[in-house]
Amino acid sequence: MPPQKASKSQPKADASEKQKSKDRDWLTTAELAAKTGWREHALRDALRGKDVPGVRRTSFGYHIEASAVDEIAKTLGTPPPKPNSPKRPAARVPNP
């Protein structure tokens, strides 16, 4: 029986390696949404198809320059109002 070869796959990264780097000069749409007060999906819809300075579309999403946050916020304007939460009908209490 031949000896087993060692696994060639790399060990999984631990949680500290998975955290995002703090020294990057770009933001995700979630981070930009938090800074500007927009909801992330509304922000993505607003960016779609527009040529906003400081925002570049990539195959993975958007590459947003951290230095351009103020200009992006001015370009997009005020965030749209948040929709009302769905109203659930009041629970019926049976009469005894």
Residue 32 lies in a domain: yes
- Separation between Cα atoms, residue 9 and residue 2, nearest integer Å: 20
- Separation between Cα atoms, residue 73 and residue 37, nearest integer Å: 9
- Separation between Cα atoms, residue 72 and residue 3, nearest integer Å: 60
Q: What is the DSSP string of 43-56?
A: HHHHHTT---TTEE
Can you read off the two tokens belonging to residue 79?
A: 């965030």
Total domains in the chain come to 1
Residue 14 lies in a domain: no
Residue 95 lies in a domain: no
- Separation between Cα atoms, residue 8 and residue 31, nearest integer Å: 36
pTM score over 0.85: no
| Tens digit of each residue's pLDDT, the chain (96 residues) | 667 776 666 666 555 555 556 677 888 899 999 998 999 999 999 888 888 888 988 888 888 998 988 998 898 888 888 777 666 666 666 666
Residue 11 lies in a domain: no
Structural domain boundaries, residue 64: 22-76
